[in-house]
């Protein structure tokens, strides 16, 4: 588990620096918020298209192998992009292509990561392991955007992309030290369609699972795109540009770090109930942008969103691993990713093109309404409210 954490911590730091560099590379090239929406959408589309296949492969093949391959592919791709940025203006289509490669790697990486954690930990330590994964992701969100913003402001987006490339390749070296994992036991050989059908059966049989996935499909349509597409433009217009946006995302990361520290020690009796309350943190993040609050207040809004999402993600992943059989876990996690992310590419594109016509504030208000209404709706379901954790400390 230590090598897995070391590799993940290394790559996630570079990955969390990249959104700031990519956003301002797009804006500085004159492509505007519509271009940024297209690039971000291109990065998420391959996740939607291939994550189900990634889940099947992660239940059939050694997950360590998939983690290693995705690290190497992403490292090489980011290195090529960095060289291109250093040598000249990168066309919008090329930026979309590199973003798509990164998304393709995520489609295979995340199901493999979700599936390998139970094989490296006892059931009683799953939440702690997920909290440590979340902590590393959160530290990356804290340090990455702020560092990326400073480097972009002082040098060039290519510097940040080059660092990201190096972080992936270093991560691959750590993954080599992760114990080899055998594929999950299977009672009989099956084909791709049968594997997908079995994963779907397990997914749809749990109402708490698919209702929360449906909630996040709406959040990824209207909430996250509004924050990630409109936020950089708002920062460029009056919150300090790349440096300001980096600090805002750093605030998000700081909140997630605090969540990781808390969740490593605190195991609530009702994990999903607690996790969904955390989603309300995004209301403050969107509201502070909508009312043109000063930079410190917007950073505080990002902190609230990061804190809430850090709590939710840890409890969500632990609930999956504790309640879904290991032999289908990667496939169920893939359906989770597919269902919740299927709307994200469309959301990025819609927000990018709608902002000039509709306005920034109405789109942010729509995001706030979606957070509140969907959270209240899923909390009304007994399956969500009453799911318990046998390892609870309180």
Give backbone dihedrals phi and psi of 3, rounded to 5 degrees, phi first. Answer: -65, -40
One digit per residue, the tens of pLDDT, for the chain of length 394 reads 677 888 888 888 788 788 778 877 787 777 877 787 788 778 878 887 888 888 888 877 888 888 889 999 999 999 999 898 888 778 888 889 998 998 898 888 888 887 787 777 766 676 677 777 777 776 776 677 777 777 877 777 888 889 889 989 999 888 888 877 666 555 555 677 888 888 889 898 999 999 999 999 999 999 998 988 888 888 888 888 878 887 888 888 888 888 878 887 777 888 899 999 999 999 999 999 998 889 999 999 999 999 999 899 889 988 888 888 877 887 888 888 888 888 888 888 888 888 888 888 999 999 999 999 999 999 999 988 888 876 555 4
Residue 183: the pLDDT is 61
Long-range contacts of 153-158 (CB under 8 A, 24+ apart): 153/241, 153/242, 153/243, 156/85, 156/86, 157/21, 157/22, 157/24, 157/25, 157/28, 157/85, 158/21, 158/81, 158/82, 158/83, 158/85, 158/86
Residue 186: the pLDDT is 56
Token pair for residue 386?
């009453």
Instruction: Give the span between the Cα atoms of 206 and 338, in whole angstroms.
Output: 16
Q: Which residue has the tokens 């983690």?
A: 67
Positive/negative CA dihedral, 320, 256, 277, 123: positive
Chain-centroid distance of CA 238 in Å reads: 27
Residue 175: the pLDDT is 87
Q: How many other C-beta atoms can be found within 10 angstroms of the C-beta atom of residue 390?
A: 9
Token pair for residue 63?
């997950």
Burial (CB < 10 A; 0-12, 13-18, 19+), residue 293, is middle
Instruction: Give the span between the Cα atoms of 299 and 142, in whole angstroms.
Output: 11
Residue 392: the pLDDT is 55
Secondary structure in 3-state letters for 336-393: HHHHHHCCHHHHHHHHHHHHHHHCHHHHHHHHHHHHHHHHHHHHCCHHHHCCCCCCCC
Residue 126: the pLDDT is 67
Buried b or exposed e, range 273-283, using 16+ CB within 10 angstroms: bbbbebbebbb
Residue ranges covered by each domain of the chain: 2-178+188-385
Instruction: Give the span between the Cα atoms of 187 and 157, in whole angstroms.
Output: 50
Token pair for residue 139?
């530290």
Chain-centroid distance of CA 226 in Å reads: 15
Token pair for residue 62?
């050694």
Token pair for residue 37?
């929406």
CATH match of 2-178+188-385 with 1.20.1250.20: yes
């Amino acid at each position: 588990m230590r090598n897995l954490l070391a590799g993940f911590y290394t790559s996630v730091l570079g990955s969390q620096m990249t959104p700031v560099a990519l956003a301002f590379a797009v804006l500085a090239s004159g492509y505007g918020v519509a271009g940024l929406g297209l690039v971000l959408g291109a990065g998420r589309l391959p996740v939607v298209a291939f994550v189900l296949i990634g889940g099947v492969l992660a239940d059939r093949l050694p997950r360590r192998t998939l983690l290693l391959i995705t690290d190497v592919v992403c490292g090489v791709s980011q290195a090529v992009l960095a060289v291109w940025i250093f040598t000249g203006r990168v066309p919008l289509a090329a930026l979309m292509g590199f973003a798509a490669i990164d998304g393709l790697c995520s489609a295979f990486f995340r199901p493999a990561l979700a599936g390998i954690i139970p094989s490296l930990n006892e059931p009683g330590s799953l939440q702690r392991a997920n909290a440590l994964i979340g902590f590393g992701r959160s530290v990356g969100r804290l340090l990455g955007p702020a560092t990326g913003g400073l480097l972009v402001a002082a040098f060039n987006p290519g510097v940040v992309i080059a660092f990201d490339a190096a972080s992936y390749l270093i991560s691959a070296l750590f993954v080599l030290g992760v114990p080899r994992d055998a594929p999950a036991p299977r009672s009989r050989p099956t084909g791709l369609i049968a594997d997908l059908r079995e994963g779907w059966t397990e997914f749809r049989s749990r109402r708490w699972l698919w209702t929360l996935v449906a909630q996040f499909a709406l959040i990824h349509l209207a909430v996250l795109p509004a924050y990630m597409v409109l936020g950089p433009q708002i920062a460029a217009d009056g919150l300090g540009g790349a440096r300001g946006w980096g600090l805002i995302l750093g605030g998000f990361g700081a909140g997630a770090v605090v969540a990781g520290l808390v969740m490593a020690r605190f195991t609530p009796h009702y994990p999903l109930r607690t996790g969904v309350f955390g989603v309300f943190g995004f209301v403050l993040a969107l509201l502070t942008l909508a009312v043109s609050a000063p930079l410190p207040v917007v950073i505080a809004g990002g902190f609230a969103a990061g804190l809430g999402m850090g709590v939710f993600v840890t409890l969500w992943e632990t609930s999956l691993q504790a309640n879904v059989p290991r032999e289908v876990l990667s496939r169920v996690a893939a359906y989770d990713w597919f269902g919740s992310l299927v709307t994200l590419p469309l959301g990025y594109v819609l927000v990018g093109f709608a902002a000039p016509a509709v306005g920034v504030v109405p789109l942010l208000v729509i995001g706030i309404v979606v957070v509140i209404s969907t959270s209240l709706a899923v909390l009304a379901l007994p399956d969500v409210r009453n799911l318990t954790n046998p390892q609870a400390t309180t």
